[in-house]
């Protein structure tokens, strides 16, 4: 099966199979691998900056104690977030949102997953405006419907997608569409769950005018199932590999 021309390949936390997640190294590698977009996670620091990091706490990838939100940017910049992945990435530092946005090439997109609450939206808006990137290049995504609602209230022109884990709790498309409508979401970013997300499910989402993205797709069989259902974007830890596999019609 060949990937349709319309399918968007999104690098999950960058090219996170090959580089430390949510770092500038991972983002640059995703672009080098031909990703159409990247996805990364953000938190707001104690002194109001927005930084790339997935977990609420620092221990897994930075080897430090405490929460991201309890530290200043200066304190966080002292941490090494590359060595855990490989000695080749030793010295990689926590990136700011401004630095991440500066990597985005023309015609590509960065999906910004907000891990904290709506309080981040004013600073997020300021940084996105300062980046000079068109709103369509910087969708905001979140598991929090309140964050999606706050983004759309402040920036109606900025795409915002509601992220939902269908593995954790399967939901009917009607429930998701009602939730998305209630917060003015422009799309749904769903776990790639073929037991739930089939062509009928996807068709209802697309018919409602919502974009449909799925995560995390690291195998060809799952990618083919999702493409067969009609999804528009595949988020993957291995963007270059997956695009190559789909382009050559791999079946395993």
Say if 28 falls within a structural domain: yes
Say if 66 falls within a structural domain: yes
- Number of structural domains, the chain? 1
Of all residues in the chain, what percent carry a pLDDT higher than 90?
A: 95
pLDDT band at 250 (very low <50, low <70, confident <90, very high): low
Say if 2 falls within a structural domain: no
Range of the domain at 80: 8-247
Q: What pLDDT score was predicted for residue 249?
A: 63
Beta strands (DSSP E) in 156-245 are 160-164, 187-191, 211-215, 233-236
Say if 215 falls within a structural domain: yes
* Phi, psi of 12, deg, nearest 5: -75, 110
Per the structure block, which two tokens stand in for 159?
């795409």
CA distance 93 to 89: 10
Say if 60 falls within a structural domain: yes
Say if 212 falls within a structural domain: yes
Q: What pLDDT score was predicted for residue 99?
A: 98
What CATH number does residue 239 fall under?
3.20.20.190
Overall average pLDDT of the 49-58 stretch: 98
> Would you give the DSSP letter of residue 64?
-
192: Cβ–Cβ under 8 A, 6 or more apart, which residues? 214, 215, 216, 217, 222, 225, 226, 231, 234
């Amino acid at each position: 099966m060949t990937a349709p021309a319309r399918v968007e390949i999104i690098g999950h936390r960058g090219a996170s199979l090959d580089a430390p997640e949510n770092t500038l190294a991972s983002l640059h590698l995703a672009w080098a691998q031909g990703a159409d977009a990247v996805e990364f996670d953000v938190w707001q620091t104690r002194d109001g900056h927005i930084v790339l990091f997935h977990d609420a706490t620092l221990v897994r990838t930075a080897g430090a104690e405490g929460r991201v939100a309890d530290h200043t940017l200066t304190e966080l910049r002292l941490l090494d977030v590359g060595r855990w992945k490989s000695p080749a990435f030793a010295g990689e530092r926590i990136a700011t949102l401004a630095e991440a946005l500066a990597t985005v090439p023309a015609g590509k997109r960065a999906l910004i997953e907000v891990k904290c609450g709506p309080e981040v939206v004013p600073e997020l808006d300021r940084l996105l405006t300062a980046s000079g990137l068109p709103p369509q290049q910087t969708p905001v995504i979140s598991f929090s419907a309140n964050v999606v609602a706050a983004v759309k209230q402040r920036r109606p022109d900025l795409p915002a997608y509601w992220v939902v884990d269908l593995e954790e709790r399967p939901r009917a498309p009607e429930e998701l569409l009602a939730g998305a409508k209630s917060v003015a979401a422009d799309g749904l970013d769903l776990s790639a769950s073929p037991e739930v997300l089939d062509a009928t499910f996807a068709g209802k989402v697309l018919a409602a005018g919502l974009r449909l993205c799925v995560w995390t797709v690291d195998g060809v069989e799952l990618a083919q199932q999702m493409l067969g259902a009609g999804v528009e974007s595949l988020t993957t830890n291995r963007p270059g590999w997956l695009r190559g596999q789909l382009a050559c019609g791999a079946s395993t």
